[in-house]
Chains A and B, each alone.
Chain A
Amino acid sequence: MPAPAQTRIIFQHIDEPGYTNDLACYVRHGGYEVLKKAVTRKPEELIDEVKKSGLRGRGGAGFPCGVKWGLVDRKSGKPIYLIVNADESEPGTFKDRYIIHQDPHQLIEGTMISCFANNVKQAYIYIRGEFPHGAKILEKAIAEARAANLVGPNILGTTYSCEIYVHRGAGAYICGEETGLIESLEGKRANPRIKPPYFPAVLGLYQCPTIVNNVETLCHVKYIAQHGGEAFAKIGTPGNTGTRVFCVSGHVQRPGYYEFPAGTITLGQLLNEVCGGPLPGRKLKAVIPGGSSAKILRFGERFKGKRKVGAEMVDYDWGVEDVPMDFDSLGMIGTMGGSGGVIVMDDSVNMVEALANINAFYSHESCGQCTPCREGSLWMKKITTRMVHGEARHEDAALLKSVADQIPGRTICAFGEACSWPTQSFIAKFGDEFKQYPETKKTAKPAGAAALI
C-alpha cells in the first residue's frame, strides 16, 4: 500500500520559499483572521470545539487537551495562567523549533485563542535555553502582534486583554515536565512537584490554576477554532485525531519532518517510502518511534493481540513496519507516540553504544530530587559507559535490567519512566547484543566509525 500524501496543517508554510516569519507575511496568508472571529464567540463555545475535536497533547503524553482545559479550577477566583511549553528537549524531536523559527505568529494566534477560551489574562512561552534565536524571533513577533493590537490590552477593540511573555530556560531537560517548568518559571530549581496536591490545573504557577500546552497543540487549537472540532476529528483516526508531525532522524535516506493525519501511515511507509529507506548497503535494525524515552522497536519482531476497530475487537499481527503511527497503536505494542521524534538505527549501530549515549543524556538531565531516578539514571550510565570504555561483563545486561526495573512508577515525575524505558527495552529487545558485547569489543571497529561518546 503506498503511503498517503502529507497533510500539512501545522507545517503548511514551513520551508515555503518566500514565506517569512514577520507579521505582514502571516497576515498576507490569512493570519489572525481566526483570532478576529474567535473573540466574537463565547469562550465556552471554543472549549467545546476543542473537546469535540478530540485533540491530544503533542508534547509526549498525548493527554486530551479538552479534558485538560476542563480540569482547570475556575471557581477559586484566582487568575488562570497559560504556559506554552516550548522546552522542546526530547532527543529526536525538532517540530516546535520549526514553528517558532518560521511561523511564530501561528503559535501566537493559537495561544491567544486558547487564552481567550480559558479567560487567561497572562500567558508565558517557556522556551528552552538552547533556542536563543527562537526566543528573539518570538519576542519580535509578540511585539509586532502587540503593535497590531492582537496581543495586549483590549485586543481587536474588545474588552479582552491578554499579555504573552517569553521566558527562557537555562538548559535543563526537566523543564519540559510541566510542574518542573512551573517551578523554573517561578525562579526556582526545576524540581517537579508532587501530584497530588500540585496539579497544575488547580495549584500551578504561583499556586494558581494553570494550563500547560505544547507549541504544536496550541497551533492545532487555531485550526480547530477555524474549522470546528468536528472537522478536525475527521482528520486522522478515531481517538487519534488531527495531523501529527514526525521528526525522522538517523539512518534513512531523507530524514526530516513530515506531517500526516494521525494513524493513517505505518512506520514502514514512513521510513521506507517517505524517508527513502535505509542508506545504501545497510539494513534497518531498530527504531525509537516517539523521542528517545520511548521504548525501542526491533525490526523483525512481531506484535500480536486484539484491538478495537469501531465497536469490534479485531486481531492484529504486525511487524514493526505495519504499526500505524498513532498514540494508541504504538501504546498497544509497548512503546509510545510521544513527541513524534522517530529515531532510526541501522545495522551499523551497536545497541550497547547507542544505549550508553542515551543513558549519558538522562543521567545528565535528572534533576536529582528523588532517589530512584537520581541514583538509578547515573548508575545505568556508569554501567554502560564502563561497558563501552572499560571492562564489559557478561552479567551487566542482567544488572542493567534490574536497576532499570527499580525506577519507573516510583518517582515524582515521568522522568523515572523516561530514563528507565530505554534501558529496559534495549535489554529486552537486544539482550543478546549486550551479553556478547565483551566479545564484540575485541573485534576492531570499521574504518571511519565515529568516536564513541
Chain B
Amino acid sequence: MIAPTKPDLVTVNIDGKEIAVPKGTNVIEAARLVNVDVPHYCYHPKLTVVGNCRMCLIEMGLPAVDPATKAPVMDPATGKQKINWIPRPQIGCGTNVSPGLHVRTTSPMVKDAREGVMEFLLINHPLDCPICDQAGECKLQEQSTGYGRGYSRFVEQKNVKPKRTQLGPRVTLDDERCILCSRCIRFSKEVAKDDVLGFIDRGSYSTLTCYPGRQLENNYSLNTVDICPVGALTSTDFRFKMRVWFLKQTDSIDPESSTGANTVVWSREGVIYRITPRRNDAVNDTWMADSGRVLYKQVKADTRLTAIKVNGADSALDMAIHSAAELCKAGRVAIVGSGRSTVEEQFLTRKLAAALNAPVSLVSRVGQGDKLLISADRNPNVRGALVTGLIAALPAPRLAELGAAIDAGTVTTVVSLGEDLAAAGLTAAQLTKVSVVYLGTHANPTSAAAKIIVPTLTVFEKSGTFINQQFRIQKFLKAVPGPAGATDDLVVLAKLVTAAGTAIAASEVGPLWKLIAAEVPALGTMTFANLPDTGLLLDATPYAALPFAEGETLHYKPAARPAPATA
C-alpha cells in the first residue's frame, strides 16, 4: 500500500470528545470519526456542499481571544480557554474544522432545529411508505424516528406534484416525495458531466425535472437513485419488485471492465434483485455504471448452459472430464484463457497449461473508455493473468496465432475458458477443424461447435478475486447458488489438471490460496479471507513496460501511475 501523505491535523472538540482531524474536514465527517451522527440529507461526501436541507445544523463555538491582544481568554471556572458559542445554529456540512472548534450536537438548540426541519420536510411529503420502494433505506424514515413528532400538526392540503415521471429509460421520479436536496442535480453536473436535471418553479412548488427535450439517460443515471435520500428517484427496473429489508447483501465487483468498481449484490432466496455500488474511495467512490447493474440478468438468461454434454449427449462431470483428458492426451492442445476468469481460475489454468504443455492465449477486449468507471479494457482481470504468470504479454487483438496453428494442424484440441472463439477471431472453418472443450456459462457459437461442454458459474455464483487496472486485487463473494447442472470453474479446472497428471489438492478458494501464495510471489503474503474489502494494491513496476490500453478514469491515471509498494 502507498503510505498516505501526512495531513495537517486540527484538534476539535465534538460533544466533549477531542479529536485530531485533517484540515478541511467538515463537521459531519469529523463527528463521524468520534461516532457522533450528524443527520443530513443534501450533504454527500463526493458532491459539492450546498447546505440546503438544514438538517445538519449544529451548535458551534470558537475559543475566545481578546480582540486587542489576541491572547486567549480563560474561563476561571474550568481553567480552560473560554468558548464563545455562536447563538445561531450552523450547518455541519458547510462548516470546516478550525483549531479549537467546539461543536455540540445534542444541545436543546440543535434538537429543536432538527425537529423543526424534520417536521417541515414531512408536511408536504406523501408519507406513502407502505408502497414506497425506498422504505427501509429512506433517510426521511430514519431521521423521523429520531426527530419526528409522531403526529402531524399540518391540517392543510398537501402540495400536488407529478407522481411518476419517466426521467429517462431507467429512472422514475415521484416529485411529491422529493425533498429538493439537489443531490441528483449535482451528481449529473459534477460527476456524470451530463447536466440535464434541474428545478423548475419556486418555493415549495419547486419540481425536479429534465431539461426540455433531454432525458436522464447517461450510463450513470442510476446513481441518482442510489443517492436520493428519499423515494423520489427510483430504479424503473427494481421498482415494486422487493422490500429491501428482505434482501441479502453480498460484496461483489463489477466485471464490466478493468476498473473493478466495488458493488453490492442484493439477493433473496437465490434470486438477485439489484446491484448497487459499494464505496471505495480509491476505485469508484460511491458510483457505478448503469450497465453493470443489469448484469445479474445473465444469471437467469435463456441461453444459460445447464447440461454437461459430450458429443452432444448429456453426460456426468467425471465422464466429461475423462473425455476431455482423453482428447488432451492426444497432444496438440491449445488453451484459450480468459481475462474474465478470476485470479484463482487463471492460476489453475496455468497449471493445466503446464500439465498439458499447451500454449495459452487470452482474448483481448479493448473498447472505448468513458473516463469515469468504464475503462478501455473490458476484461476485468488481464492483470490477474499477468500476475499469476498465465501470460507474459498483453493479449493480441484476434486469436491470429491460434488460427494459424489450427490451419497448420499443430493444434487439434482447444480448451476454451468461457471464451467464444468465433467472436474472438477464429473462422467457422477453423472451428470445425478442432475439438473444442468448452467451460462456460452461456450458449454461443463456440459451445454449439464444442465436443465437450461443462457449464460453469457467473461472478455472482462464485467467490474469487480480480486484479484491476491499478493492480489492486479485490475480492468478490458468492451471492447466489449456481443453477443445477453448472459446476464451479475451480472444481472443473482442478479435475482437468488432476486428470492431466498433476495432482491438485484444492478446488475451493480458501485452500487454493495457500497454493497461490506459495507459488505466486506477488501474492505471497495474502490469504483470501484476509483481503480487505477495499482491496490491496500490488507492485505494478514489473509490468510498467507493457502497453496497457486504459486511458484515464476516475481514480486511474495511466501516465502518472505511481510505483506502489507491495503490501
A contact set with B: CB distance below 8 Å: 172, 189, 191, 194, 196-197, 363-372, 374-379, 382-383, 386, 399, 402, 406-407, 409-412
B49 within 8 A of A: yes
Contact B203 A196 (CB under 8 A): no
Tell me if B39 is interfacial: C-beta within 8 Å of chain A. no
Other 19 A-B pairs with CB < 8 A, given A366-B203, A371-B54, A376-B120: A194-B49, A194-B50, A194-B91, A364-B202, A368-B180, A368-B202, A370-B51, A370-B54, A371-B53, A372-B54, A372-B116, A372-B120, A377-B204, A386-B156, A406-B112, A406-B119, A410-B116, A410-B117, A412-B51
B206 and A374 contacting across the interface, CB-CB below 8 Å: yes
Q: List 8 A-B contacts (CB under 8 A).
A: A191-B52, A366-B204, A371-B54, A372-B120, A374-B120, A379-B154, A386-B156, A406-B112
Contact A410 B89, beta carbon cutoff 8 Å: yes
Out of A189, A363, A370, A402, which one reaches B199, CB within 8 Å? A189
Closest to B122 in A: A375
Q: Pick from B54, B159, B198: contact of A411, CB below 8 A.
A: B54
Q: Contact flags (1/0) for B505-531 with A, using CB distance below 8 Å?
A: 000000000000000000000000000
What residue of chain B has the Cβ atom nearest to residue A198's Cβ?
Answer: B94
- B94 contacts across to A, CB distance below 8 A: 194, 196-197
Q: Are the CB atoms of A368 and B205 closer together than 8 Å?
A: yes
From residue B257, how far is it (CB to closest CB) to chain A in Å?
A: 35
Contact, CB under 8 Å: A409 / B89: yes
Report whether B123 and A375 are in contact in the complex, using a CB–CB cutoff of 8 Å: yes
Which of chain B's residues have a CB closer than 8 A to the CB of A402?
153
Say which size band chain B's interface belongs to: 35 or more
Contacts of A374 in B (CB 8 A): 120, 180, 203-204, 206
Interface residues of B in 198-227 (CB under 8 A from A): 198-199, 201-206
By the criterion CB–CB under 8 Å, are B117 and A367 in contact?
Answer: no
The answer to whether B51 and A194 have CB atoms under 8 Å apart is: yes
Cα–Cα, bound, A371→B180 (Å): 8
What residues make up the interface of B, taking CB atoms closer than 8 Å to A?
49-55, 57, 87-89, 91, 94-95, 112-113, 116-117, 119-121, 123-124, 153-154, 156-157, 159, 179-180, 198-199, 201-206
In the complex, residue of chain B having the shortest beta-carbon distance to the beta carbon of A386? B156
Contacts of B121 in A (CB 8 A): 371, 375
- Partner of B153 from the list A191, A363, A369, A399 (CB cut-off 8 Å) is A399
Q: Is there an interface contact between B156 and A377, defined as CB atoms closer than 8 Å?
A: no
Determine whether the beta carbon of A370 is less than 8 Å from that of B49. Answer: no
CA distance A194 to B94 in the complex (A): 8
Determine if B156 and A379 form an interchain contact, defined as CB atoms under 8 angstroms apart: yes
CB distance from A171 to the nearest CB of B (A): 10
Cβ–Cβ contact B202 & A365, under 8 A: yes
Complex-state Cα separation, A409 to B109, whole angstroms: 11
Nearest A residue to B124 via CB reads A375
Residues of B within 8 A of A399 (CB): 153
Residue numbers in B under 8 Å from A410 (CB-CB): 54, 57, 88-89, 113, 116-117
Q: Is the CB of B203 within 8 A of A363?
A: yes
> Chain B: which residue is nearest A195 at the CB level?
B94
With A379-B154, A409-B89, A410-B54 known to touch, is A371 a contact of B203 (CB < 8 Å)?
no
Report Cα–Cα, A308/B385, bound state, in Å. 83
Closest-by-CB residue of A relative to B117 is A371
Chain A residue at minimal CB-CB distance from B159: A378
- CB contacts (< 8 Å) of B204 on chain A: these are 363, 366, 368, 374-375, 377-378
CB-CB nearest in chain B for A409: B88
